[in-house]
Chain A
Amino acid sequence: QKEVEQNSGPLSVPEGAIASLNCTYSDRGSQSFFWYRQYSGKSPELIMSIYSNGDKEDGRFTAQLNKASQYVSLLIRDSQPSDSATYLCAVKGDDKIIFGKGTRLHILP
């Protein structure tokens, strides 16, 4: 069974600090990796896509992928209270996309 694992949290981070969210996956053939943000009562919103090893930066967000370790992470710099949400890691190989259960992030003002 293909799995995507995330720590459920909550992860509490002071405002202005770096929030680090981690995700591991079981399917070594996975090729596409995504991070979604989901506010309570809302639907998921795409934040980042990453397809190759290394870092990809977009504003305050950096996605990191290490296929050898089957590990993908999301860093949020200068964390803001508005970043408080559940972050979903999603992984796709040849088959359907698989979502992790999400990590709840709480930014402390």
Chain B
Amino acid sequence: GAVVSQHPSRVICKSGTSVKIECRSLDFQATTMFWYRQFPKQSLMLMATSNEGSKATYEQGVEKDKFLINHASLTLSTLTVTSAHPEDSSFYICSALQGPPNQPQHFGDGTRLSIL
């Protein structure tokens, strides 16, 4: 159980393109989902917390107009990187919280984004 699917796994696109990443909880309902970014050999960095039916909460320094998050249902959250630039190239990972807040987060497989 507790499977989180993330799509696409890899994106390569030109600078200025907007990219949408989907995160789905396949076998449970996730009231809360999280979006992380990880640069090579660095630690996970939380970008935002997404609650179903409400606006996402962004961490300090993360531009909410650039990283659009939508959590329209209990099984789907999307992250859109708008007008992506080479410095946005990174490994983006979503996670979903199964059950009460004291339970662990389960991670998707991640999306490797490369902006040329």
Which residues of the other chain, A, contact B106 by a CB distance below 8 angstroms? 46
Question: How many residue pairs at the A-B interface have CB separations less than 8 Å?
Answer: 41
A42/B43 contact (C-beta < 8 A), A32-B102, A34-B104, A49-B104 known: no
Q: Which of A36, A49, A97 has the most CB of B within 10 A?
A: A97
Q: How many residues of A contact B (CB 8 A)?
A: 21
Classify chain B's interface size.
Answer: 10 to 19
Interfacial chain A residues near B112, Cβ < 8 Å = 41
0 or 1 for each of A7-43: is its CB under 8 Å from B? (1 = yes): 0000000000000000000000001101010000111
List residues of B (41-69) whose CB comes within 8 Å of A's CBs.
43-44, 46, 49
Q: Which residues on the B side are within 8 Å of A34 (C-beta)?
A: 104
Taking Cβ atoms with an 8 Å cutoff, the residues of A that contact B are 31-32, 34, 36, 41-46, 49, 51, 88, 90, 92, 96-97, 99-102
